[in-house]
Homo-oligomer: A and B are copies of this chain.
Amino acid sequence: MLAQFKIVPIGKGESLSTYVAECVRIVQGSGLKYQLTPMATIIEGGWDEVMEVIGQCHKKVRSMSNRVATSIEVDDRGGHRDAMEQKIRSVQDRLSQG
């Protein structure tokens, strides 16, 4: 499955890149496939391993800020491997069919 997540400390400074970088380091350490987008981080894996990683990220940012807003969106589809590439390719195929 794919999960997209975003972790925002409330009441800290306007810049969030420090917190995002902390999370990316945790994601990289997990060995899960991931993609950083301008709005969130996307990771691919099973429910338990994905939620374990996002939980570590949330708790890390929470240790740096007294209030944290975290959002997670999951797309879990049976029988689909390499969903990250497949989903983009599938839309591009439609577009090229005109």
Contacts and interface: CB of A to CB of B under 8 A. Distances in A.
A51 interface: yes
A79 B90 CA distance: 32
21 contacts: A2-B39, A10-B77, A11-B14, A11-B15, A15-B90, A17-B93, A17-B94, A24-B95, A35-B38, A38-B83, A38-B84, A39-B75, A47-B59, A51-B51, A58-B74, A66-B77, A66-B79, A67-B75, A68-B77, A69-B75, A71-B71
Majority secondary structure, A binding face: mixed
A90 to B, nearest CB: 4
Interface in A55-90: 55, 58-59, 62, 66-79, 83-85, 87-88, 90
